[in-house]
Structure 1
Amino acid sequence: MSSGGPSRRVRADAERSTARILEAAEDVLAEDPNAPLERIADAAGVARATVHRRFSSRTALLDALAAHLNERYLRALAETRVATAPPLVALQRLTETIFDLKLCHRFAIQLDAAITPEVLAGVDLLFERLRDAGVITSADPVWCRRVYLALLHEVNDLSADSPTLTALHAGSEVEARINLLVGTVIGALGGTDTTNGLLVRPSLAGD
């Protein structure tokens, strides 16, 4: 019988408690960015000493939240296939994923450390491909990315009953936000909105 069994169980328990702490931190800090670690421990259902053992300081906890979100960003870039899928399709998929992340990570999404150079490079690559495909004319991918992220923030902040969203007559609020962002970004970067007010959902098999 392997002597590593109990050790593996201890590690698994530690990973589960860490995940609960991070999940609780997202919820608590989204409501109160200045909430103490003790309140996060209560929300996670763990002893306060456990939080301090897993995260030596508030900064360590914030770094962990940023790292977790960065992993999600990188996974999104891989899943949307920004390097190989038709670039407009990849832009729509990436936009949908980011809106989902904004809902699930309302606090961590504000942490600059969550957007690493690797993530930025993936977004820049997408805008290079959009330019090469003739979807946009702007030649600077860094500028394109900055425009995209700024407009993403503005579209995300629109109320659900905003005339700007409801006028799109999309199938859902999320689709309306995607259509609005994609169409506006393409227009701002010297292209033509090819969505025609409708979210394009091509099958993965057709890429």
Structure 2
Amino acid sequence: MSASVPSRPVRADAERSVARILEAARVVLADDPTASMERIADEAGVGRATVHRRFASRKTLLETLCAQLDDQYLRALQEAKVDTAPPLVALYRVTERVMELKLGNRSVLDAVVSALPGRDSHLSAEVQERAEQLFARLHAAGAITAENPAWCLRLYLAIFDAVHHTPAGARNSPGPPTT
């Protein structure tokens, strides 16, 4: 039987390095979703060895960025009070915040999708569960009348996916199709 080794506290300078690396990754990936770890290190102002010491692989770095985004989604759900607020109010609040997150993190999401094959969703089970809970409450309140609230949630998420794939700077409203 092995004893568990207590983890050492992370030094403040190491925490700052990690924060700089993650911010640099967001900036660099916005320009090039396939950017190298070396380019991210240059943007962060740290050596490539520092990046690799903090993140063993590109996959680990992207998973960390994804986990941070997931935490932001959870915070948005908590701030929207999906458990207690009137369901339509909670839906409005969540929609507003998630729209900001999706548009502000396109590069992270693109990089995750391209670099982590097989990961069909960047949403954690907890985020998914909380969203399902909100849609069940919307259904119970009669705000959505479809038989299956999970189907409505899939449509809702598909709308966010479409927003994510709309080119930056595109018009807010597509208007009528042109021929």
Work out whether the TM-score is over 0.5: yes
The answer for the alignment partner of 1:115 in structure 2 is 123
Helix, strand or coil at the partner of 2:106: coil
CA RMSD across the alignment? 2.1
Match of 1:132 in 2: 140
CA shift, 1:103, in A, is 2.9
Counterpart of 1:92, as a letter, is Y
Q: Using the TM superposition, give the Cα deviation of residue 163 of structure 1 relative to its aligned residue in structure 2, in angstroms.
A: 4.9
1:48 CA displacement: 1.5
2:72 paired residue number: 72
Identity %: 55
Which stretches in structure 1 are left out of the alignment for 5+ residues?
1-6, 165-207
Partner of 2:100: 100
Does residue 88 of structure 2 align to residue 88 of structure 1? Answer: yes
Q: State how far apart, in whole Å, the 2-side matches of 1:147 and 1:101 are.
A: 18
Mean Cα deviation higher: 146-155 or 54-63: 146-155
1:18 maps to 18
Q: Which residue of 1 aligns with 2:34?
A: 34
Query: What are the ranges of 5 or more consecutive residues in structure 2 without an aligned counterpart?
Result: 1-7, 113-118
Q: Is the 8 A contact 1:69 1:109 kept in 2?
A: no
Indicate the SS of the match to 2:67: helix
Deviations 1:30-81 (A, max 9, x none): 2211110000011111122110110111111111111111111111111111
CA–CA separation in structure 1 for the residues paired with 2:150 and 2:79: 22
2:152 to 141, 144, 147: 144
Change (3 A) 1:141 1:12: farther
> For each residue in 1:148-204, what CA deviation from the matched residue of structure 2 results, as whole angstroms up to 9, or x when unmatched?
01112224527235354xxxxxxxxxxxxxxxxxxxxxxxxxxxxxxxxxxxxxxxx
Q: TM-score, normalised by structure 2?
A: 0.80
Structure 1 residue 19, shift from structure 2 partner: 1.1
Mapped contact 1:38–1:48 kept (Cα < 8 A): yes
Kindly state the Cα deviation for residue 15 of structure 1 after the two structures are TM-superposed: 1.1
1: CA distance, partners of 2:134 / 2:20: 34
CA contact (8 A) 1:125 1:141 kept: no
